[in-house]
Structure 1
Amino acid sequence: MGTVFLVHNRTSDPTASSPFALKVVEKSTIRTKLDADRRARWEIDVLRRLHNHAFLPSLIGSLETDEFLAYAVPYCPGGDLNVLRYRQTDRVFSPAVIRFYLAEIICALDHLHTMHIAYRDLKPENILIQSSGHVTLTDFDLSRTLAPKQLKSLASSPENTITDAFKTRKHRRNLTKIIKNVVVLEKGGGALLKKAKSARVSPVSRRRLSFETGEKSNSFVGTEEYVAPEVVRGDGHEFAVDWWALGVLAYEMLYGRTPFRGRNRKETFRNVLLKSPEFVGRRTALTDLIQRLLEKDPTKRLGYTRGASEIKEHEFFRGLQWDLLTEVLRPPFLPSREDEEDLTEKGVGGMDVREYFERQKAPPSFPPSPLPSPSSEHLKFKEF
């Protein structure tokens, strides 16, 4: 949708001690660009409504010129959850680490849902690690406002803590844990990490519905491997799509792969509709949680009836003090000093944003020019 730059204010922050992320969307009369412009404006509106939540970003400021729409959010030096997972020896997280991150993500989604916003794009690349080690969600351009469900009665709701089979087994044991792809930050001319492009599904609305009204959305949005069955079927969807994506995310954190990925998009969607997630080894509270989140019928999915409250009551989170998550001083991983290195030199010899976009449009030179200097990848945004 846009290009994300790592920038700092040369006037108020000459040593680059407080850099921030600047997302810039180039305006155009081309239809695809108009859609990006509309989505960028929506994201800015959502960011304006997010105030001081520990696991959600805040809007530092925005700017519009005849050519660009730009907005700034805090910089997260720890990269995203996918980068962090790839740094692990087996490219997976322990149940204890998964528990910590899922808890914070649930709190973020819960807050969005109380604002009647369905996130609709939960995936590791959109979960960033702050300097404190806590998470924050990013990219709200695919989110939308939905009217809350009107439930007749909650008195007859089934117990939502754990399946009977697992509960019985547990009791028995008791007797005897910002551009097209990902933003790549440069270090001394070398990329920090180059990742495969996510197969993001562009918003395609099956009906011309208002962006603000309606209990269900009929848009086809998300990232292939995280799209819920009701989205693929076109049945209309609501907040439960975020709990499905949470189940896919938990599975990937546990096994290092998503549960429904196929050889192509068609096979992936078929797996989403028909295939059951495969688990290895004995049944645990974590695998039970994942299975209940990956219920293909959204009305039977954990979190459908009472939202995040149901998920927080699950056995996997037993004993977790939800109100003290923000007080954790030593999260599982903290950004290294290299991640938070001084950026003073990176701000030297930058370029104007306009020059950057003009260079992207220029045809490649032949033969290829020598490798660019590190400073060529940084910018000075004169008007911001």
Structure 2
Amino acid sequence: RLQEKERLLQELNGQYDELGKEVGAGDTDEVTFDTTFSRRHLQLMRCADFFHLRCPLSDLIVKAIQKNDFLSRLDDEQTAMMVDLLAVSSYKPNDDVIKEGTEGDSMYIVAAGELLVTQAGQTLRSLTTGDVFGELAILYNCRRTATVKAKTAVRLWCMERQTYRTIITNKSKKKREQLLGFLKTLVHELCSRGHILYPLSKIIDSMEEVKYQDKDVIVREGAEANAFYIILKGEVLVTKNVNGHQKQIRRMGKGEHFGEQALIREVLRTATCSAEGPVTCLSIDKDRHTIPPLHLFLWDPVTLGVGGFGRVELVMNHEEYYAMKRVSKKHIVAKRQEEHMLFEKKILKATQCNFIVSLHAAFKDTRYIYMVMEFCVGGEIWTKLKEVGRFDEPIAMFCTACVVEAYAYLHKKNIMYRDLKPENLMLDIKGYVKLVDFGFSKEMVHGDKTYSFVGTPEYMAPEIIKNQGHDFAVDFWSLGVLIYELLVGSPPFSSSEPQKIYAKILDGVLKYPPYMNKYDASNLL
């Protein structure tokens, strides 16, 4: 809009110049305009007046954005959009703009007046024209850490979280669509040459080859569906029980598939598939062993952990110990975590990996949701790290290798983890490291991007903070942060204030302690 106003102003100045030439060329003292020109002239004058009024305010907003550690990283186009989309609000003396402890979704820039910032009744500082406050709220839902009260009559520019995200994500999506358009012809060319595309190779990597002899039953009608099949070689006969007799439905050959519903939900087979001669298939299996919840015994005195999510308690089944995570339904609804809980259960139920904690059962009552998981007797890596200060390189390498194995398994299944930190790494009875807590995980096709703002501040990748859209690469950013913390004892980007953590991450300045110079870890990071 500002560029359009500048263009109109230039057009107006040009027409004034032409008008001056016409007046100088003639002898008449009177100049007349046709109706069309007069209306256009009036429109240009109004736009020019608005531009001149707006320009000083725009400069003030831009300067305020540029001097803020977080907002200064916006590009010119995003900054211009912010200038245009800021809303104006006014407050009287002693009015509270934001209150300590309340949740908010807006940031503010002071246009005029003075405000006081207080925390627990103590005055911290004052805010005047050009100052920015509350910017953390446009990133995610959080409680205000201080109260901001108008000392005089004030006028503020306000930006809501949804508006900010729209500005950031629209730019990223537009750029992504443009790049995808450029790549369409390249992808077509690669396909025509017979190149195997990356997503297809990943699907193949996650499947197992299974061979059958003539007349072998691959799946039986009425049985529980637990696998999906693609025929590589041979023929498969599909039959269905009709009045006690097997009726042939169809024949399937190379390249055809069956049983896909098994990967979506719990169903029974609707037909029998058997081999006609030797058959080779690719298969994805989802068989799981579960423990009947009625046979669990709760050890009331033993609590393994307590957090914002709920409580983890020790339970027993036939002399085997398990960790039972108990989460309040009320808490889940209040935090809008319904989808996250369901997805966490789905991931753990479908997971069979030695480096990811196993889920054995899940059930609920009127107040809680329960998830019975493998009991990792070694406890958290975070606890061990705090006990010794920092790990030696061999221990850090072993922990990292376990995480990489877990990542490889998850990424093959199109799952981003997004919550790596020492608190989410557990030691099992054999001393292996296992991932726990999949509340921030997301299922996504390789090549796509998501725009969620999730994770632990110290471990967030720059693209998450900037709302530019992120993919599986963020897991490896957090892996680098983990390696650093294991070797040093603290994360590379830390502060008591989240805004400063984000600013440090975006700056990307990494400082190594002297003893790390001899390690190859610094090169890896």
TM-score, scaled relative to structure 2: 0.40
How many angstroms apart in 2 are the aligned matches of 1:264 and 1:19?
Answer: 40
Residues 25 and 37 of structure 1 are in contact (CA less than 8 Å); yes or no, is this contact kept in structure 2?
no
Offset at 1:232? 0.4
Alignment-mate amino acid for residue 143 of structure 1: S
Q: Does 1:78 align with 2:378?
A: yes
2:355 maps to which residue?
A: 55
Alignment-mate amino acid for residue 325 of structure 2: K
How many angstroms apart in 1 are the aligned matches of 2:402 and 2:439?
Answer: 21
More helix by share: 2
How many angstroms apart in 2 are the aligned matches of 1:247 and 1:96?
Answer: 16
Alignment-mate amino acid for residue 120 of structure 1: R
How many angstroms apart in 1 are the aligned matches of 2:332 and 2:398?
Answer: 43
Secondary structure of the equivalent of 1:234?
coil
Secondary structure of the equivalent of 2:339?
helix
Offset at 1:57? 1.6
Q: Runs of 5+ in structure 2 lacking a partner?
A: 1-307
1:227 maps to which residue?
A: 460
Alignment-mate amino acid for residue 125 of structure 1: E
Alignment-mate amino acid for residue 287 of structure 1: S
Offset at 1:20? 1.0
Provide Cα deviations, 1:174-211, integer angstroms capped at 9, x if missing partner.
Answer: xxxxxxxxxxxxxxxxxxxxxxxxxxxxxxxxxxxxxx
User: What pairs with 1:345-384 in structure 2 (closer than 5 Å)?
Assistant: none
How many angstroms apart in 2 are the aligned matches of 1:96 and 1:30?
Answer: 40
From 25, 28, 53, the counterpart of 2:330: 28
Higher relative contact order (CA 8 A, sep 6+): 1
From 97, 100, 111, the counterpart of 2:395: 97
How many angstroms apart in 2 are the aligned matches of 1:122 and 1:279?
Answer: 21
Question: CA RMSD of the aligned region, Å?
Answer: 1.7
2:343 maps to which residue?
A: 42
2:523 maps to which residue?
A: 288
Offset at 1:283? 5.5
1:314 maps to which residue?
A: none
Offset at 1:30? 8.0
How many angstroms apart in 1 are the aligned matches of 2:331 and 2:438?
Answer: 23
Q: Does 1:259 align with 2:463?
A: no
Provide Cα deviations, 1:81-106, integer angstroms capped at 9, x if missing partner.
Answer: 11111222xx1111111111111110
Offset at 1:146? 1.1
Offset at 1:64? 2.2
Indicate the percent of aligned positions where both proteins have the same amino acid.
Answer: 30
Q: Does 1:2 align with 2:309?
A: yes
1:322 maps to which residue?
A: none
Residues 315 and 324 of structure 2 are in contact (CA less than 8 Å); yes or no, is this contact kept in structure 1?
no
How many angstroms apart in 1 are the aligned matches of 2:425 and 2:416?
Answer: 16
Residues 218 and 231 of structure 1 are in contact (CA less than 8 Å); yes or no, is this contact kept in structure 2?
yes
Residues 6 and 19 of structure 1 are in contact (CA less than 8 Å); yes or no, is this contact kept in structure 2?
no
User: What pairs with 1:335-350 in structure 2 (closer than 5 Å)?
Assistant: none
From 271, 274, 282, the counterpart of 2:507: 274
Secondary structure of the equivalent of 1:222?
coil
2:427 maps to which residue?
A: 129
1:67 maps to which residue?
A: 367
Offset at 1:76? 0.8
How many angstroms apart in 2 are the aligned matches of 1:231 and 1:248?
Answer: 15
How many angstroms apart in 1 are the aligned matches of 2:455 and 2:340?
Answer: 14
Offset at 1:3? 2.0
How many angstroms apart in 2 are the aligned matches of 1:29 and 1:262?
Answer: 28
Offset at 1:219? 0.4
1:248 maps to which residue?
A: 481
Secondary structure of the equivalent of 1:104?
helix
How many angstroms apart in 2 are the aligned matches of 1:138 and 1:80?
Answer: 10
Secondary structure of the equivalent of 1:246?
helix
Offset at 1:257? 1.0
> Larger C-alpha radius of gyration, 1 or 2?
2
Secondary structure of the equivalent of 1:23?
strand
How many angstroms apart in 1 are the aligned matches of 2:505 and 2:331?
Answer: 36
Alignment-mate amino acid for residue 285 of structure 1: D
Offset at 1:31? 4.6
Provide Cα deviations, 1:111-162, integer angstroms capped at 9, x if missing partner.
Answer: 100000000000000000011100110000100011112xxxxxxxxxxxxx
2:23 maps to which residue?
A: none
Alignment-mate amino acid for residue 413 of structure 2: M
More strand by share: 2
Q: Does 1:107 align with 2:405?
A: yes
Q: Runs of 5+ in structure 1 lacking a partner?
A: 150-214, 291-384
Residues 451 and 464 of structure 2 are in contact (CA less than 8 Å); yes or no, is this contact kept in structure 1?
yes
How many angstroms apart in 2 are the aligned matches of 1:29 and 1:107?
Answer: 33
Residues 380 and 425 of structure 2 are in contact (CA less than 8 Å); yes or no, is this contact kept in structure 1?
yes
Sort the Cα spacing of 1:101 and 1:30 in 2 relative to 1 into closer, same or farther, 3 A. Answer: closer
Offset at 1:21? 1.0
How many angstroms apart in 1 are the aligned matches of 2:430 and 2:337?
Answer: 32
Secondary structure of the equivalent of 1:267?
helix
How many angstroms apart in 1 are the aligned matches of 2:351 and 2:496?
Answer: 38
How many angstroms apart in 2 are the aligned matches of 1:26 and 1:284?
Answer: 45
Residues 6 and 75 of structure 1 are in contact (CA less than 8 Å); yes or no, is this contact kept in structure 2?
no
Provide Cα deviations, 1:252-311, integer angstroms capped at 9, x if missing partner.
Answer: 111111111124111100000013111133353111111xxxxxxxxxxxxxxxxxxxxx
How many angstroms apart in 2 are the aligned matches of 1:3 and 1:63?
Answer: 15
Aligned length: 216
Secondary structure of the equivalent of 1:105?
helix
Provide Cα deviations, 1:322-354, integer angstroms capped at 9, x if missing partner.
Answer: xxxxxxxxxxxxxxxxxxxxxxxxxxxxxxxxx
Sort the Cα spacing of 1:28 and 1:86 in 2 relative to 1 into closer, same or farther, 3 A. Answer: closer
